[in-house]
A = this chain, B = another copy of it.
């Protein structure tokens, strides 16, 4: 981002960007499907929180986060389908933390592994456009393959990030239904359903649908024009009790909660019914707890992936 480029709308800067950060021919969803054929569909987290740093014998400091991240990059850059750094653990150290994240993103993306920044950003108008540029613009030092976003201000408020995602074939993955115990109160609140027959969700048998389903349906509409899979995705926990219908989502389904948190591949298949190939189970603790040995991290990711596929 330089010169007088406007942040109000996306600009095509691919020609001047580094090769690792140019716009793509395939959608984010298509690139996920392609890489999953070789590596399996699993996303592994990079979560340098205090207890893991201590477990790895590292200080809870910028230096500790840096060492943890370097090890994760080495372990996963050529062995994972998708990696997902958790932005909060970098933000906790301010600009020094973001500098570590920028280096990790550059190293990971130069290897071809897909990178999802778990940021859960959400705002409106030019402010949302600012977040879109931070995470999806070719010239941003934080440019990744996809970013997670939060729809409390309405899915429509996320349009600036959807627009830049469509332009660059990067991804925006919207929180829909999560596994934490505090979530259902809001995510299962009811809203009037869409009137159009063709857009109606499979589960919308009455005049109302849940907030979570309305988020999934909005993402499905955005993805509908793409063959295979579009650029937008949803977050749906693998241990959610009343999941939304995902059959028509046509984009990546990021599913935390597999492994240590109790979710199984049977849960993933049941919840993602009709869109199973788009399910991207996320594992973090069960793999990261085997560090800091790089080979042990790689082996655990491989065995976890194999277990999930069988």
Contacts and interface: CB of A to CB of B under 8 A. Distances in A.
Copies in the complex: 2
A122 B99 CA distance: 22
A91 B61 contact: no
Contacts of A214: 185-186
B191 A186 contact: yes
B88 A95 contact: no
Interface residues of A, number: 71
Contacts of A175: 152-153
**Among the interface residues A123, A140, A191, which one has the most CB atoms of the partner chain B within 10 A?**
A123
Interface string A21-32: 000000000000
A281 to B, nearest CB: 18
Given A120-B121, A175-B153, A189-B190, A94 B102 contact: yes
Given A49-B127, A157-B182, 11 more contacts: A1-B61, A2-B61, A3-B61, A7-B89, A51-B126, A91-B130, A118-B127, A152-B175, A152-B186, A157-B180, A211-B211
